[in-house]
Amino acid sequence: MAPRKGALKDTLLTTTLNDLLQTDVDAISAYSLVIRQLESKVRKEIVRRYQTDHRRHVRELKRLIQAHGGAAIAVSHMPTGPFKLAMQAMGSAGGDRAVLLAFKANERQGRDKYRRAAATRGLPRDVARVLKRASRDEERHYQWAEKQLQQLHAGRRTAVGKAAGIMEVANARTVDAIEEIEKPIMTVLEATRRGVRAAAKHPLRTAAIAAAVTTAAGAAVALRGSRRR
């Protein structure tokens, strides 16, 4: 099969979609834990409904990845355990408050990731439509958690809310940094997968694309490292 025009662009697109897919897979299992741990039946039911949004994201992302020539990687991110970490950190708050504080920290990550992805310029129309809708879902989930916490006197302005807010931001940054390291690996894997298919007819072009992807990925990791120093 001949390589399609914009192979590099497609590779980067499907890498981003795969990253979102893994975030959704993680969210589905985190939600199961939340549903089990929440005391309020009403809250359980709402989180169960939100979980079906994530299941829809998974279905739609898989379809998009395939439509744009990629291979869906529906596995969890590296076991950084962001949710478990947050649970431990918030443990002292007790009851639904503790569960919701951890849930909110987890939702922030998904919300920000979808927000960034949906705001990308030049997305294919089918991708833009799915990402915008999913981004709105994530905003809704996050806002719901925030409202519940206000009702439980653990809103943003309370002492526990403020402490949790600091943890939430720190947690999101740590998880983002770890997952950013995975992205270049996924990109190279994806480029190699596509490259193998394209190599038969255009070996030079394929090699150039693979080299460009590897260099860009390496540069991204180096830049991140130097910025932190």
Q: What is the dihedral of CA 81, 214, 61, 115, to 10 degrees?
A: 70
55 vs 97: CA distance, rounded Å = 25
Closest CA to 177 of 133, 221, 142: 221
Closest CA to 20 of 166, 168, 123, 101: 123
Q: How far is CA 134 from CA 7, 82, 87, 166, in A?
A: 25, 21, 25, 26
Contact region with Fe ion (CB under 5 A), list: 68-76, 81-89, 141-149, 191-199 = 141-149
Q: By CB under 5 A, is residue 141 in contact with Fe ion?
A: yes
Residue closer to Fe ion, measured from CB, 34 or 210? 34
Enumerate residues 97-126 that contact Fe ion by CB under 5 A: 110
Residue closer to Fe ion, measured from CB, 83 or 191? 83
Total residues interacting with Fe ion, rule: CB under 5 A: 2
Q: Which residue is nearest to Fe ion (CB)?
A: 141
* Nearest approach, Cβ of residue 92 and Fe ion (Å): 24
136 vs 144: CA distance, rounded Å = 12
CB atoms within 10 A of CB 121: 5
Residue closer to Fe ion, measured from CB, 141 or 194? 141
* Nearest approach, Cβ of residue 141 and Fe ion (Å): 4
Residue closer to Fe ion, measured from CB, 113 or 141? 141
> Which amino acid is located at 101 in the chain?
L
* Nearest approach, Cβ of residue 138 and Fe ion (Å): 5
Closest CA to 90 of 4, 8, 144, 170: 170
Residue closer to Fe ion, measured from CB, 69 or 110? 110
Contact region with Fe ion (CB under 5 A), list: 68-76, 78-86, 136-144, 149-157 = 136-144
* Nearest approach, Cβ of residue 156 and Fe ion (Å): 19
134 vs 193: CA distance, rounded Å = 28
Residue closer to Fe ion, measured from CB, 43 or 141? 141
* Nearest approach, Cβ of residue 143 and Fe ion (Å): 11
* Nearest approach, Cβ of residue 107 and Fe ion (Å): 5
213 vs 222: CA distance, rounded Å = 14
User: Binding residues for Fe ion, per CB under 5 A?
Assistant: 110, 141
